[in-house]
A = this chain, B = another copy of it.
Amino acid sequence: MPTRLTQYRLCPRSRSIRLALAEYGIEVALLDENPWEWRKGFLAKNPAGEMPVLEYDNGLTLCGAYSISEFIADEPLPNATVMAQRPPPLFPGNREDRAEVRRLIDWYHGKFDREVTRELLNEKIYQTMRPSGSSAPDPSILRAVRANLRYHLAYTGYLADARRWLAGDDLSFADFAAAAHISTVDYLGEMPWHEYPAVKAWYQKIKSRPSFRALLADRVPGSSPPLAYSDLDF
């Protein structure tokens, strides 16, 4: 069984794995790690210096959202699990459906991360926490990130409008990946919800799931979320 997840509370990859674990009813202890510190003890666990890292009681250590999500999806369910209690598969459907799920995971954990979340976290949190860092975000970077965000939200809205869930009829890890990034952007006060009603309606569905509760209770030093962040009726 997995026992510990090393993570940073606003890291979207960590958040997506926490959602997957919670959906599967897998309880783990959370170890907080500050990504801007590059601690030696953490690099010994994952030389890539990336989060999350999931540790098992048999000594197995899994690094990164890609490796962990595919591993969890591959996990045989306990015999006692009755059909009605089965968690939603992270990669539902047939081979072609799963290819669509993975395309979108790549979209959010790859492109969205590079063009929005990573930059926002760096400008608004990481660089203010570093001893040598400046305290104010660079307005030209924020402007570029906000333009990128609108492009991503328009695409997310297009998907949410056309489908029940982002990758198709069924909830999948693509929804958790997308919701993880959007929840971090929301925490940082950057979500223009009123401009994207389809994104809001989709996010309301996923935000109401019990697996989401722990994320909404998270706070990090140096930043407070807007009031509506943890409100299910935002």
Interfacial residues, chain A to chain B (CB-CB below 8 A): 47-48, 50, 60, 62-64, 66-68, 70-71, 74-75, 95-96, 98-100, 102-103, 105-107, 110-111, 114, 155
Considering only CB atoms, which chain B residue lies closest to A76 in the complex? B95
Residues of B within 8 A of A75 (CB): 95
Judging by beta carbons under 8 Å apart, are B155 and A67 in contact? no
Copies in the complex: 2
A102 x B67 contact (CB < 8 A)? yes
Give the top 5 A-B pairs by smallest Cβ distance, nearest first: A67-B102, A67-B103, A66-B106, A71-B99, A67-B99
Q: Chain B: which residue is nearest A49 at the CB level?
A: B111
What's the least CB distance linking A64 to chain B, in Å?
5
Residues in B neighbouring A110, C-beta threshold 8 A? 48, 50, 64, 66, 110
Interface of A: prevailing SS: helix
Q: Are B114 and A114 in contact (CB under 8 A)?
A: yes
Q: Are B66 and A102 in contact (CB under 8 A)?
A: yes
Q: Are A155 and B47 interface neighbours, CB within 8 A?
A: yes
Neighbouring B residues of A74 by C-beta, 8 Å: 95, 98
Chain B residues near A62 (CB, 8 Å)?
99, 103
User: Contacts A67-B103, A102-B67, A106-B66 given: A96-B60 contact, CB under 8 Å?
Assistant: yes
Inter-chain contact B70/A99, CB cutoff 8 Å? yes
- List, in ascending order, chain B residues with CB within 8 A of A68's CB: 99
Chain B residues, Cβ within 8 Å of A155: 47
Q: Which residue of B lies closest to A91 (CB)?
A: B70
- Complex: A99 Cα to B106 Cα, angstroms: 17
CB distance from A220 to the nearest CB of B (A): 24
Chain B residues, Cβ within 8 Å of A111: 48, 50
A100 to chain B, nearest CB (A): 8
Contacts A67-B99, A67-B102, A70-B99 known; list 17 others, CB within 8 Å.
Answer: A47-B155, A48-B107, A50-B110, A50-B111, A62-B103, A64-B102, A64-B110, A66-B66, A66-B102, A66-B110, A67-B106, A68-B99, A70-B98, A70-B102, A71-B96, A71-B99, A74-B98
Bound-complex Cα distance A114 to B111 (A): 11
Closest B residue, CB atoms, query A102: B67
**Distance in Å: Cβ of A162 to nearest Cβ of chain B:** 13
